Every structure is written in structure tokens, then in C-alpha cells.
């Protein structure tokens, strides 16, 4: 290269550089940044990862399939900046504080009320917004926060549909017993459920509280056998639910219905219990056969197909609720017409009433999911699959009740 052509080349690059730079800057402007932490490791990581895969799926779909989302006449891409909080509330709070300090406006939730509660306190105090599908404890919504939204109804209201399902059972169950983990979510959830059932005329026998990390429930099951309830409700997380069910089978502790809030939905549960998982009842906030449709993803079935085509982790409702958080944000931003006015976006979220692939998303005045529109369906493991058994209009199979004794299950 001679001197002249060298000067030409460098000269033109100096002239062109700012143009390239500014077009990059424009591209950076047209993004929506979501941030937060999820448990990718530690005790809550199984479901934490499910929620994360939901977030990932929504971002992938919006960026790759839709080519970004049109807000205020401009295409916006979505970025996701998630960290691993290792299921540790202390670690989560420092991660979220750091992101608040860096100027993140829109937060997605972690999984577990014990993590969501302290982290949403930080985002709220800093005037940032959090939409989450991982914390149901009443405390998240009843302490006067205005910028925290949950896709699930608060814990004490989550049991309404299950109590209604009990009413449809024949013969009518008489007695119910609770085992719950002594944490912010499970305890409130069990207390709420217990009140609901007593009001409905069932006799609630004594409740058993378990520590967060438990290696043996033989004694608790001894109490269950002595009390012999018709229904045993476990308000517990995945690993504890598996432990309880396994030990129930092994000690031949039979109840007419075993209901476990978390666990029966997961692949690990079926792997651990095999045929004994059949008959176990749980809650599900979303089902791919539901007849909902929205502008992002299309129908519930479309979401399931897109997810399975792009991700390997088995689909559970947590993926859908994770993706639902981002859909709620984006729909609110579309209404406002920009991605910077936090107050307007907050108001748009509060006023959201919109059908999406996840269902009709509508929050109560305190920010939790509408208990009727976003309340859980009741599901039961039947022949290895998860069947919706309640509400009746969405049911894919009748409830099997009373469940067969463990040794007769196939």
C-alpha cells in the first residue's frame, strides 16, 4: 500500500467512524433491558431454572421470531441480564442492589418468596418496577408496595380453586391435614388454605411444620397415619415433596388424596416416584391446552411448540409464567408508547387487562394476580401424564378419587 492510498483509507475510515458509531448508539437506544436474579444453583434451582428458561424463551421469541417489538413506532429488542443468586436471599439482595445502582429500571423476579420479598423491597424503594412469577407470599403484596406485580395470586388466595375441587369429590372428604415448610410462602399458603377449608366445612386436623432442609419425614408420617386424614395437603417445595411421597410409599402411608403444591409438575418427581406419582394432585397455573391467545407467542399451544423446538428442559407451567412476566411488561410498554417513563409503565401494568397465551393477565390493586383469572388449575398425574381435573370447563380428565393404595398403583 503506497502512502496516498494509505491516507485515503485512513481518512475515509476517520470520516465514516462516527457514522458507524452513531448507528450503533441508535441500536443501543432501541432496547429494553430486563434484569434480576434467579436461583440457577442451590436449593430452589430446579424451579428457578424453569422460570429462567421462561424468561429466555420470551426474549428469544421477541428478538428472533418477531424481530423486536414495536413501541412508539420504533422496533425494540429485548436484553436480559440475569445473575445466579444461588437460592440465597442475602446474595440476591446484593445483586439487585448493584443492578439498581447501575440504573436498571425493569426487574424480573427470582424464585421463592424468601428471595422475592427482600429484593422487591429494594426495587420498590428505588422506584423501579418488578414483575415476577416466583413469590406468592402475602407479605409481598400487603406492605403497601406500588411497583411490584406478581403473576400468581397471593399465597392465601391460591387455594380457592382446590377447595372448590374438593367439593366436587365423591364420596365427600371429611378431614384434611397439612404438612408445610416453615418459610414465608408455604406457611402463609397453608394457613390461608386451612382457613378456606374450615370455612367450607371440612375438619382440618393438626398441621405439621417442617424445617427448610429436611432429610427424614418418618415421624411426621407417623402422625399422619395416626390421624388418618382423607386428604393430605403438602405445601412444600420440590425436594421435600419427593421425600414425603417416597416415604409415604415406603411406609405404606395411604390417604385418599395426596395434594402437593410443588413437585408433581416436575420431571424429577416422576423420575423419583415412577408409577407411584400417578394419582398425586397438584396446582398448575397454566396448561398448553388452554384456549388463550395473545399478540406475542399466539396461543398457549403455540408457546409450547416454540418452547419445545428451542429448549431441551421439560416444559412446566413455570416457563409459561416466566415468559408471561416479559409479555406483561412489553404489552404495558406498547400501551405507553415508550420504554423510559417508569411511572406511566407502572400505571399501565396496574391497569392491564389483556388476554395473552398465559391467560387473561390482570393484577389486583395490590399487585398480585387476580385470584379468579390467574388462580391455579388443579392437575393430577394420571398414567404418567399431567391431567387438568379442575376447573371443570378446562378439565381434560375426571379426578381419580379416592386414589388407589400405593401398592395397587400401576
Partner 1 sequence: MRDPHFPDRQAMLIIQTALNGLVLGGVYSLAAVGFSLIFGALGIVNLTHGIFVICGAYAAMVLFHVFGIDPFLATVPVAIAFFFIGYAYQRGLIQVAISRASLVASLLVTFGVALIMRNLLQLVFSPDVRTITPSYSFSSLTFGSLRIDIVRLIAVLVSIVFLLLMALVLSKTAFGRRIRATAQQPLAANLSGVNVPHVLGQTFGLGAAFAAASGAVLGIVQPFSPSSEDFWTLNAFIVVVLGGVGSPSGALLGGILLGLISSFTAQFIGPSYTNAVMFLVLVIMLLIRPQGLLGSAFGESR
User: H-helix or E-strand containing 379?
Assistant: strand 377-382
Binding residue for partner 1, selected from 4, 101, 170, 213, defined by CB under 8 A: 213
Asked if 406 is part of the footprint of partner 1 (rule: CB under 8 A), the reply reads yes
Q: How far is the CB of 211 from partner 1 (least distance, A)?
A: 5
Q: How many residues bind partner 1 (CB under 8 A)?
A: 42
Spatial distance between the Cα atoms of 389 and 371, rounded to a whole number of angstroms: 18
Asked if 252 is part of the footprint of partner 1 (rule: CB under 8 A), the reply reads yes
Pairing relationship of beta strands 385-390 and 203-210 according to DSSP bridges: unpaired
Asked if 227 is part of the footprint of partner 1 (rule: CB under 8 A), the reply reads no
Q: How far is the CB of 252 from partner 1 (least distance, A)?
A: 6
Give the E-state strand segments of 224-369 in sequence order.
231-235, 257-260, 281-284, 353-356, 359-362
Kindly tell me which of 60 and 225 has the beta carbon lying closer to partner 1. 225
Q: How far is the CB of 191 from partner 1 (least distance, A)?
A: 14
Kindly tell me which of 226 and 309 has the beta carbon lying closer to partner 1. 226
Q: How far is the CB of 312 from partner 1 (least distance, A)?
A: 11
Binding residue for partner 1, selected from 57, 62, 231, 239, defined by CB under 8 A: 239
Asked if 226 is part of the footprint of partner 1 (rule: CB under 8 A), the reply reads yes
Task: Provide the mask over 262-301, with x wherever binding to partner 1 is found by CB under 8 A and - wherever it is not.
Answer: ------x--xxxx-x-------------------------
Asked if 115 is part of the footprint of partner 1 (rule: CB under 8 A), the reply reads no
Cα 343–347–350 angle (5° rounding)?
140
Q: 3-class SS at 203?
A: strand
Pairing relationship of beta strands 385-390 and 175-181 according to DSSP bridges: unpaired
> Are residues 204 and 197 in contact, defined by beta-carbon separation less than 8 angstroms?
yes
Binding residue for partner 1, selected from 12, 26, 41, 228, defined by CB under 8 A: 41
Q: How far is the CB of 304 from partner 1 (least distance, A)?
A: 21
Asked if 87 is part of the footprint of partner 1 (rule: CB under 8 A), the reply reads yes
Provide the 8-state DSSP code for 340.
Answer: S
Kindly tell me which of 131 and 255 has the beta carbon lying closer to partner 1. 255
Asked if 216 is part of the footprint of partner 1 (rule: CB under 8 A), the reply reads yes
Among 276, 228, 215, 251, smallest CA distance to 406 is for 276
Asked if 215 is part of the footprint of partner 1 (rule: CB under 8 A), the reply reads yes
The CB-based long-range contact list for 24-31 (8 Å cut-off, 24+ gap) reads 27/77, 30/68, 30/74, 30/75, 30/76, 30/77, 31/76, 31/77, 31/78, 31/79
Q: What is Dmax (Cα atoms) for the chain?
A: 96
Q: Which stretch binds partner 1 (CB under 8 A): 115-123, 128-136, 215-223, 295-303?
A: 215-223
Kindly tell me which of 239 and 352 has the beta carbon lying closer to partner 1. 239
Sign (positive or negative) of CA dihedral 349, 35, 369, 56:
positive
Q: CA of 188: how far to CAs of 29, 31, 70, 160, 209, in Å? A: 43, 38, 41, 14, 12
Binding residue for partner 1, selected from 10, 22, 143, 182, defined by CB under 8 A: 182
Q: How far is the CB of 35 from partner 1 (least distance, A)?
A: 21
Binding residue for partner 1, selected from 43, 169, 354, 400, defined by CB under 8 A: 43
Q: 3-class SS at 239?
A: helix
Binding residue for partner 1, selected from 214, 227, 397, 400, defined by CB under 8 A: 214
Q: How far is the CB of 61 from partner 1 (least distance, A)?
A: 24
Which residue is associated with the grid cell 390421624?
227
| Cα 203–chain centre separation | 31
* Binding site residues, partner 1, CB under 8 A: 40-43, 45-46, 49, 87, 182, 208-211, 213-220, 222-223, 225-226, 238-239, 242-243, 246-247, 249-252, 268, 271-274, 276, 406
Amino acid at each position: 500500500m503506497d502512502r496516498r492510498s494509505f491516507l485515503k483509507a485512513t481518512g475515509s475510515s476517520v470520516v465514516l467512524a462516527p457514522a458507524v458509531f452513531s448507528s450503533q448508539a441508535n441500536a443501543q437506544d432501541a432496547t429494553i433491558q430486563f434484569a434480576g436474579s434467579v436461583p440457577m444453583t442451590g436449593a430452589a434451582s430446579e424451579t428457578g431454572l424453569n422460570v429462567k428458561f421462561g424468561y429466555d424463551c420470551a426474549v428469544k421469541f421477541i428478538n428472533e421470531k418477531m424481530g423486536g417489538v414495536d413501541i412508539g413506532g420504533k422496533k425494540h429488542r429485548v436484553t436480559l441480564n440475569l445473575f445466579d443468586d444461588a437460592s440465597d436471599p442475602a446474595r440476591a439482595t446484593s445483586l439487585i442492589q448493584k443492578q439498581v445502582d447501575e440504573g436498571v429500571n425493569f426487574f424480573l423476579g427470582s424464585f421463592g418468596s424468601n428471595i422475592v420479598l427482600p429484593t422487591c423491597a429494594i426495587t420498590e424503594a428505588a422506584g423501579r418496577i418488578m414483575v415476577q412469577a416466583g413469590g406468592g407470599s402475602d407479605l409481598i403484596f400487603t406492605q403497601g408496595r406500588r411497583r411490584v406485580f406478581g403473576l400468581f395470586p397471593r399465597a392465601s388466595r391460591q387455594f380457592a380453586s382446590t377447595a372448590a375441587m374438593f367439593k366436587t369429590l365423591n364420596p365427600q372428604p371429611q378431614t384434611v391435614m397439612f404438612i408445610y415448610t416453615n418459610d414465608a410462602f408455604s406457611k402463609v399458603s397453608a394457613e390461608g388454605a386451612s382457613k378456606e377449608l374450615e370455612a367450607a366445612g371440612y375438619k382440618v386436623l393438626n398441621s405439621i411444620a417442617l424445617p427448610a432442609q429436611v432429610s427424614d419425614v418418618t415421624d411426621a408420617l407417623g402422625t399422619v397415619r395416626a390421624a388418618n386424614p382423607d386428604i393430605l395437603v403438602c405445601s412444600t417445595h420440590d425436594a421435600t415433596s419427593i421425600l414425603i411421597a417416597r416415604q409415604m410409599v415406603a411406609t405404606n402411608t395411604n390417604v385418599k388424596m395426596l395434594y402437593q403444591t410443588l413437585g408433581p409438575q416436575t420431571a424429577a418427581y416422576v423420575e423419583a416416584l415412577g408409577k407411584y406419582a400417578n394419582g398425586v394432585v397438584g396446582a398448575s397455573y397454566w396448561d398448553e391446552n388452554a384456549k388463550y391467545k395473545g399478540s406475542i407467542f399466539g396461543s398457549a399451544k403455540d408457546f409450547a411448540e416454540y418452547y419445545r423446538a428451542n429448549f431441551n428442559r421439560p416444559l412446566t407451567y413455570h416457563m409459561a409464567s416466566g415468559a408471561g412476566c416479559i409479555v406483561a411488561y412489553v404489552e404495558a410498554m406498547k400501551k405507553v408508547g415508550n420504554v423510559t417513563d417508569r411511572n406511566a409503565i407502572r400505571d399501565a401494568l396496574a391497569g392491564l387487562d389483556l388476554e395473552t397465551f398465559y391467560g387473561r393477565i390482570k393484577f389486583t390493586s395490590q399487585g398480585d394476580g387476580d385470584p379468579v383469572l390467574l388462580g391455579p388449575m388443579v392437575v393430577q398425574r394420571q398414567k404418567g401424564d399431567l391431567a387438568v381435573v379442575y376447573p371443570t370447563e378446562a378439565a381434560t380428565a375426571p379426578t381419580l378419587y379416592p386414589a388407589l393404595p400405593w401398592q395397587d398403583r400401576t
